[in-house]
Every structure is written in structure tokens, then in C-alpha cells.
Chains A and B, each alone.
Chain A
Amino acid sequence: MTKKEEFEIEISSDSKAAIQRLAIVPKKTPVKYEQEKPEENLVMTFPNLIIREIICFQIVVIVLSIISLFFNAPLEELANPQNTPNPAKAPWYFLGLQELLHTFPPVVAGVLMPLLVVIALIIIPYFDINIKRAGLWNKNPEKTLLVFSSVVFVFLIIMFLFDAFSILVPTLLIYILAVSPYLIKKRNAFINNIASLSLAGWIMTWFVSVTVILIIIGTYFRGPGWSWVWPW
């Protein structure tokens, strides 16, 4: 925070002593002009970028070759509609969804939630008013805490009612992480880092961690009848 004195306004009729400038700010300012671009250090695409691309491609092929030589793609027995495996699992990237399906009514988990996620992802660039991405606690921390906490609390209650602990726990953790810069006054690099995360950043972080945790749970911690099992 800068000190108030630094913003003192000089007023003088002498145009030489205090130069008067007129700035016209249009209502919509293109964002790309807002950020000052430092003088860019430009290099030739060939060979600088091209060589990196080729190396990248080669590494991708090498890594995949090694994986393919050591791990065979799974192949079980011929499909048999009579033999339902317990549990029948979707591909891993849908296991989060399947985990949701287990806790929420199908219409909510199977249709509403994925739809909301897709819509939320799509509208991000249009609704991100906080262009400068100010940290969550930059402005009016008390009010932020109240609103933020109450929203999270209501959400947690709902999750609790649905027994959705696989969502509840990560949400709680993210919440604690989010409010920690407010509570801990001592600063270090880590706290500074998370203090600078905006609300949108926190929502995304929350979404990603819940997704990842749900997928991990669905993949490793679910056994017959979608019951909880330990993978070891």
C-alpha cells in the first residue's frame, strides 16, 4: 500500500510550474492497451522456435514409445452383456462424474452439473470484471470475508446434506487456504502468492482440485457396489 501523501495534487495557475494535462478516458478501454508492454525481445522463428518444436515432438514420441513398450493397453475378455463387473467403471476422465452420480440425483449430477461447468468455463472471459486480477483480500477484507464465508458455508451445508464428503473436504481445505492470508498477518513468499489469487482464481483452483480428487477417488477408492475401499 502506498502512502496517502504521495497522491497530493499540485494546483497552480502557472502552467510552466505545474503542467496541466488532459486525459480523455473512453468508456470502454481495450485491455491490451492497459498493460504497458515492455520492449519485447524478438527473435527469428526459424530456427529458434522451429528447433524447439522439433525437439518437443521428438520427446513426445520418445516418451510415448517408452510407455508403449513397457505397458500394454488393457484388453479384457470379449464383451459379455450378462457379466456385469462390479463396479462397472467409466473411463477415468468421467469417474468424477460417476462419483457425483453416486451422491446426487442423476439429473443434477449427470446433466445439471456438467452443463453448469461447461457454461461456467465458457463465460469466464466475458464475466471476468476483475480485469487486473486483484487478490481476493485487496479491497474491503471484512466484507469479503463475510460474503465469501457465508457462501462457502451454505455450500458446505448442502454438500453435508447429500453426504458428499468427497466434495466437502476439498472445499473446506480450499476455503482454509483462501482465508489464510486474511488471518495470518505474517507474510512470506507462499502467503503472498496465495494472497494475490483473485476470486476467479480461487474458484478455478477449487474446481480443479475437486475434479482431481473425485477422479482419484473414483479410480482407486471405489470397489464393489461403489463402496469405499482402500487401494492397497
Chain B
Amino acid sequence: MKILNWLAQTKIWQSIFRTKLPISTNLDKSLVIFNSLTLHIHPVKVRLRAIKFSYTFYLGMISFFLFVLLIVTGILLMLYYQPAIPHAYNNMKDLEFVVSNGSYLRNMHRWSAHLMVITVFLHMLRVFYKGAYKPPREFNWIIGIVLLIITLLLSYTGYLLPYDQLSYWAVTVGTNIVQYIPIAGEKIRFLLLGGNEIGEYTLVRFYVLHCVILPLFMVLLIALHFWRIRKDGGLS
């Protein structure tokens, strides 16, 4: 503890962390929030009622944490993945048998993704039944709906990437629905698959969607979502 205290007094520490230890007064506590890039999304004070578990079940928070986990594991998985046939599948085998903690990473990514779909949906239900979408939060509700859709799309595009039987046919079924869209259905399907059937290009397209385009939108919309919550008066 002494060493830690001494460390906290050094110039280097203080140049990195603005917060001075020990944190005792309310001002110190406020400064923790102010001085942090990540934390200052929070107000300095919050309603006690709103931070109780029974109030929100922390569903939004859990969804966000799952998203963070997905990004971390996803980036690590990208290091071992080639969007090509049949390498994509062999990479899964490598993850399982050769890469250190490979199956742990893949399992985490997979189950987080499934769980996130559930928590985001439950989050929506919670907001609905609590009436938390009411003015002035109408638009934030819509952002939430879009986030739900993007979550589904992220999960769906990721589904193809192992390129096993499960992914191939799940994606076939899904993309077959797309072609029922009147007039443009076939064209949209062609655009998605990069051809008339699932193949190398589909894999690349889904890979880019899954790893670049959709996460980008997701991050932007999550930021907007959080910012709006803060501006509309915190959790409700």
C-alpha cells in the first residue's frame, strides 16, 4: 500500500492519471468522472433508484459489455482467419486444436454473440414495459431498434464465417428469404452473395460486413444511444 501511495505521488503517475489519490471528498469523486475519457459519459451524481439492479436489470449494460467482449475476441480471432474456401474451415480446426486458447476464444465469441441477441431484445422489452421510450426519448428508442437489427445482422454475417455445413445452410435459408423482396429481391441477393450461390465472394463480403462495416455502424450508434440517454436525463 505504501509503495502504491508513493507511486501515486510521483510526477509520472500524476502526468498520466489526473486523479489524485486518495479519493476522499465528493470533489475527488467527481473528478474521477470528469478526468476520465471513458467515465465522463456518466453524470457526477446519479439517482440511487436508477442504479439498482431491479430497476433496469442492467440489460443495456450487459449488452454493451458483451459487445466489448465480442470486439476483443473478434479481433483476436481475425488474426487466425482467412476468408477463403476451404481455409476458413481449416482455420476453425486450427483454432480448436493448435492455437493456444483458440477454442476458448471461439466459444466466447460465439456464445457472447448469441447472448447479446437475447440481452438486446430483453433490453428492448424492459424499455417498452417501463415506458422509457416516451418523449423526449422517442428517437433513442428508434436508435435502439436499429441497434437490435444490426446486432442480428452481425450475428448472422458471422454465422457464415466458419464455412461449415451449419453456416452454409443457415445462410442459404436466410438469403433465400431476401429474394422474395418484390422487384429487387434477386438483385439484392446477388449483391449480398457476390454471385448466384454462396462461394468465395460471399465469404469475403460477409467477412467485411461482419468485421468492418457493421461494427462501425454499431459503435457510432451506441455512442449516439449513450449520449442521448445522458442528455435526456439519465436512466429511466
Contact = CB atoms under 8 A, between A and B. Distances in A.
Contact of A30 (B61, B66, B135, B181): B135
Interface residues of B, number: 81
Interface string A74-96: 11111111011100111111100
Interface in A153-212: 201, 204, 208
Nearest to A114: B177
Contacts of B149: 118
A122 interface: yes
Contact of B47 (A41, A73, A122): A41
B168 A79 contact: yes
Interface string A53-82: 100110011001101110111111111110
B82 interface: no
Interface string A91-125: 11110011001000011001100000010011011
B180 A110 contact: yes
Contacts of B30: 44, 46
B120 to A, nearest CB: 10
A42 B180 contact: no
A107 B182 CA distance: 7
A35 B93 CA distance: 58
B133 A111 contact: no
A88 B172 contact: yes
Contact of B164 (A72, A77, A110, A133): A77
Interface of B: 23, 26, 29-30, 32-33, 39, 42-49, 51, 53, 58, 61-62, 65-66, 69, 85-86, 89, 92-93, 96, 103-104, 106-112, 114-115, 117, 124-125, 128-129, 131, 133-138, 141-142, 145, 149, 152, 155-156, 159, 162-170, 172-174, 177-178, 180-182, 185, 197-198, 233
Interface of A: 30-32, 40-50, 52-53, 56-57, 60-61, 64-65, 67-69, 71-81, 83-85, 88-94, 97-98, 101, 106-107, 110-111, 118, 121-122, 124-126, 128, 131, 133, 201, 204, 208
Given A79-B164, A91-B155, A124-B141, 18 more contacts: A32-B136, A40-B47, A41-B47, A43-B45, A44-B30, A64-B112, A65-B104, A72-B103, A75-B92, A88-B169, A90-B174, A97-B177, A101-B177, A107-B180, A111-B182, A118-B149, A122-B141, A125-B133
